[in-house]
């Protein structure tokens, strides 16, 4: 019993150490010259282009459902006109960033994990290393930065689409003009809603890229480790998003509402 706990703790510490090391090497390579602009843009394109449909549908349904669910209750209180504001605040502050990040973790972290994992298994990463080309700079730095950059953008798009979903939902019940709806939605939003909502997606994006790359880059030999890399990338990226969100909520409460 004691032995298993000991070896478990030891393994955990080893993993943490590995991740810290990986992070430091990311920073070192980031500061080095020879940034791979082409690969970075290609990754941005892949991430944005491949995830957009999924994120658009999710965003739309988010706003749509939220509206349909809350409308009857608020109507009972004669507060139906608060629906746009309620939807926009809850989507922009919390639901949008978290849901989109979790979906991206499933889509992007897993694909990065699998891609780098299979490159590792087929010795492509070793081949880069041996030829003195820099696999961290080419593969890792570009992917992490692309995620850090694209996830906030995708979230903002999803937020906007979600407001539109809310508009459609409201219209099923009662005709509202687009102008009026968005007016109400934006009036309810304060800078202190938007800003923390966007900032935390930057961290979510980083976590998705970093965890995906870490698990792919450190996968073992053998083909089954590719699946394993993809799987653990999704699991730990999702976990990290939840944890970061908890921290972000605390920080916003301290700084924005005091």
Partner 1 sequence: MQDELTIETKQATEAKTDDNNIVIKVEHLQKSFEDNKVLKDINLTLCKGENLVVLGRSGQGKSVTIQCIVGLLDYDEGSLKVFGKEIKELLEDELKEIRLKLGFLFQSGALYDSMTVRENLSFPLTRVLKMKDDSKINQEVEDVLDAVGLKDAIDKMPGDLSGGMRKRIGLARTLILKPAIMLYDEPTTGLDPITSKEISQLIMDLRKKYQTSSIIITHDLACAKITGDRILVLHEGKFIAEGSYKDLEKSQDERVNSFFK
Which residues form the interface with partner 1 (CB under 8 A)?
34, 118-119, 122-124, 126-134, 138
Minimum distance of partner 1 from residue 15's CB (angstroms): 17
Nearer to partner 1, 38 or 174 (CB): 38
Nearer to partner 1, 3 or 132 (CB): 132
Minimum distance of partner 1 from residue 233's CB (angstroms): 18
Q: For the beta carbon of residue 251, count every other beta carbon within 10 angstroms.
A: 13
**37-76 vs 96-104: helix crossing angle, rounded to 10:** 140
Please state the length of the chain.
258
Nearer to partner 1, 122 or 192 (CB): 122
Minimum distance of partner 1 from residue 137's CB (angstroms): 9
Minimum distance of partner 1 from residue 134's CB (angstroms): 7
d(CA 151, CA 174): 34
Can you give 172-206 as a three-state secondary structure string?
HHCCCCHHHHHHHHHHHCCHHHHHHHHHHHHHHHH
- Taking phi over 0 as left and psi of -120 to 50 as alpha, with beta for the rest, 132 belongs to left
Nearer to partner 1, 133 or 251 (CB): 133
């Amino acid at each position: 019993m004691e032995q298993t706990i000991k070896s478990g703790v030891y393994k955990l510490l080893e993993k943490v150490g590995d991740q810290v090391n990986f992070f430091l090497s990311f920073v070192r390579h980031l500061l080095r010259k020879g940034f791979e602009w082409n690969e970075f843009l290609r990754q941005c394109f892949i991430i944005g282009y491949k995830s957009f449909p999924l994120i658009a549908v999710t965003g739309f349904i988010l706003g749509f459902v939220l509206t349909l669910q809350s409308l009857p209750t608020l109507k009972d209180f004669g507060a139906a006109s608060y629906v746009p504001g309620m939807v926009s605040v809850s989507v922009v502050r919390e639901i949008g960033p978290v849901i989109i990040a979790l979906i991206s973790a499933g889509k992007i972290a897993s694909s990065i994990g699998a891609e780098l994992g299979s490159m590792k298994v087929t010795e492509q990463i070793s081949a880069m290393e041996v030829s003195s080309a820099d696999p961290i700079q080419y593969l890792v730095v570009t992917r992490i930065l692309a995620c850090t950059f694209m996830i906030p953008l995708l979230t903002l798009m999803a937020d906007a689409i979600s407001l539109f979903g809310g508009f459609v939902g409201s219209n099923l019940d009662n005709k509202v003009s687009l102008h009026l709806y968005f007016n109400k939605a934006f009036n309810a939003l304060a800078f202190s809603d938007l800003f923390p909502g966007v900032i935390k997606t930057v961290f979510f994006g980083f976590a998705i890229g970093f965890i995906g790359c870490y698990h792919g880059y450190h996968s073992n030999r053998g083909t089954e480790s590719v699946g394993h890399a993809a799987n653990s990338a999704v699991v730990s990226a999702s976990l990290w998003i939840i944890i970061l969100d908890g921290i972000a909520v605390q920080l916003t409460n301290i700084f924005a509402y005091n």
